[in-house]
Structure 1
Amino acid sequence: MNRTLAIIGVVVILLGIVAVNSMFIVSQTQQALVLRLGEPRRQIQDPGLQLKIPFIEDAVFYERRALDVDPPKQQVILSDQKRLDVDSYARYRIVDPLLFFQAVRTEREARARLSAIINSSLRRVLGSQTLFDILSEKRVGIMANIRSEVNGPAQRLGIEIIEVRLRRADYPDETRENIYNRMKSEREREAKEFRAQGFEQAQKIRADADKQRVVIVAEAQKQAETLRGQGDGEAIKIYADAFGKDPSFFSFYRSMQAYRTAITDSDTTTMVLSPDSDFFRYFNSMTGQPGSETPPAGQ
């Protein structure tokens, strides 16, 4: 009895193992390829529970979702002889599992093959474009051309290229340094030119201002001399009219001016004169006449 139970148990276990190895599940995000002794027999696109011959057939699963490939950065020479370090990426989908298995077998190998194809296409397409084209609205059409060119070899791998994009397109480090130095030199040259122009303008403005100052000062001096001359003339006329009416007052006034000019605190000149000198006549008499101490009537 025990032996029978043991046999039944072994049979059940073997049947379970066979059942497990004869069924597999394909998820919504996968597609499968059934291999018989390593050779592909059929491909399964529909999700769900699937059957296979146990121990003879095996299932290989591939993604139905979009996959990414990130080619290594490379340097590209454009048609205008400018060098760019191009960093790109692409998205692809496995559309033919059988062809994919026969061509590359694994996604890792597929990424390596696609990287080489994409970089080759980038060099070929971008090599016929200028930097202005890549930076302008033409970039969309350029990337579409690259995608179309890559799709040809990719279809032979059972792959459909969804898109190819440029992540970055920069000048190489040495080129950036040269551009920076050239831009710096250009800006310094422009700065020197602007300074020279500014200095020239400043000199012109300063010279014009000095000229205007000289003209204004000369005009002012001319007007001052004219007014001074007119004032002196008026003063002389007034003095002449006044002195003509009273000559003795004129003589007295002139003597007072001489006293004020000759006798001052700051005067260091020593004069030796006789008290009877005509210079001091108004010191002894207000009339300027010897022996008279009171002015005549009317003065």
Structure 2
Amino acid sequence: MKIASIVPIILIVLFGVYKVATFTVQIDQSAVLTLLGKPVKEYTTPGLRFKIPFAHSVVYFSKKLIEYDAPPSEIITNDKKNLVIDNFCRWKVAEPLKFYLTVKSYGQAFNRLDDIIYSEMRNELGKHTLLEVVSENRQKIMDNVTILTKKKALEYGIEIYDVRIKRADLPVQNEKAVYARMKAERERIAKQYRSEGREKAQVIKATTEKEKAIILANAYKKVQEIKGKTDAQVIDIYAKAYSKDASFFEFYKSLSVYENVLTTGTEFFLSTNNNIFKVLESGK
């Protein structure tokens, strides 16, 4: 009877010891075990762990990505233009022991990230013009900033996933002047493209005309060659005809001349001495 009444007490005591002598690291957590406030060990894998009650304490950190939204800051570009940059970064605690030793808390980590990101952002954007920052090379610029900040952040046990610009604005007093210059630059580029297009069109047209002239010249040459061969054949036929019957050939040539010269309905008179008349008169 006495043992039965003691068992619940023993179980309660054991449960209490279990609660104060163990701790659990979840799958999305890492932890640092401290002894009287001094860090002694880190845990980056999930599971049940043991500690000395009242001597050990546990500090937990999330493994999830944390988004840090930095306050807008003014930066000077390579072409001496002021630009207000609003950026953010995503990061996580990669080495909990180093993180605890260097910054201890998320609040201090935000302050350190602010210094690192602003410094690298200022240095990198200072190498580029305003136009490059706001349009052409922003992605490449931010990739470089991410690489540089990653290296520095690792000193604090922080792994930076990426750094991005949310918004890049001009100071109010400079907006109109800068936009006017940007518009003029775009118009200059457009004019250059149009000029290059016209130049290429002229080249294409000249090339086409040249090819056309070559084709026509070759065609004319071919026609002349064919005509020359045909004329030679005609002359050869005439020569053979003349050699067989010279008088008939002359008669035929005379008729051909009249046929080509005279039109239908034309009246003409022949001398009795004309060869054609003589042939008709003689019936030969």
Q: TM-score range by the shorter chain?
A: 0.5 to 0.7
Over the matched positions of the two proteins, sequence identity in percent amounts to 34
Residues 213-249 of structure 1 deviation map (CA, whole Å, 9 limit, x = unaligned): xxxxxxxxxxxxxxxxxxxxxxxxxxxxxxxxxxxxx
Q: 2:78 matched to 1:79?
A: yes
The residue that corresponds to 1:50 in the other structure is 49
The answer for the alignment partner of 2:105 in structure 1 is 106
Under a length normalisation based on structure 2, what TM-score does the superposition of the two structures give? Answer: 0.58
Match in the other structure for 2:124: 125
Equivalent positions of 1:134-153 (< 5 A) are 134-153=133-152
* Contact persistence 2:25–2:46 (CA under 8 A): yes
1:195-206 to 2 correspondence within 5 Å?
Answer: none
Equivalent residues, number? 182
| Separation in structure 2 between the aligned mates of residue 54 and residue 12 of structure 1, nearest angstrom | 18
Deviation at 1:61, TM superposition (A): 0.7
Q: State the AA in 2 paired with 1:20.
A: K
> Whole-Å Cα distance in 1 between the matches of residues 115 and 6 of structure 2?
58
Letter in 1 for 2:102: A
Distance 1:27 1:10 in 2: 30
Report the residue type matching 1:51 in the other structure: F
CA RMSD of aligned residues (A): 2.4
Deviations 1:114-146 (A, max 9, x none): 011101111111111101222344222211111
Q: Distance between the aligned counterparts of 1:60 and 1:101, measured in 2? A: 9
Counterpart contact for 2:68–2:110, Cα < 8 Å: yes
Instruction: Give the gaps of 5 or more residues in structure 1.
Output: 187-299
Report the structure number with the largest CA radius of gyration: 1
1:179: Cα distance to partner? Answer: 5.2
C-alpha displacement of 1:7: 7.2
Change (3 A) 1:22 1:91: same
Do the aligned partners of 1:70 and 1:115 also contact (CA within 8 Å) in 2? no
Aligned to 1:262: none
Distance 1:5 1:176 in 2: 84
8 Å CA contact retained: 1:31, 1:97: yes
Q: Which residue of 2 aligns with 1:263?
A: none
- Give the TM-score, by structure 1 length: 0.56
- Per-residue CA deviation, residues 146-185 of structure 1 (Å, 9 max, x unaligned), is 11211222111001111000000010122225557x69xx
Cα 1:112–1:137, aligned 2, differ >3 Å: closer, same or farther?
A: same
The one-letter amino acid of 1:149's match is L
What's the offset of the Cα at 1:48? 2.3
The DSSP-based 3-state class of the residue aligned with 2:156 is coil
Counterparts of 1:26 and 1:54, CA distance in 2: 17
Contact 1:71 1:116 in 2 (8 A): no
Q: Distance in 2 between matches of 1:122 and 1:149?
A: 9
Mark the runs of 5 or more structure 2 residues left unpaired by the alignment: 185-284
- Please state which structure has a larger fraction of its residues in helix: 2
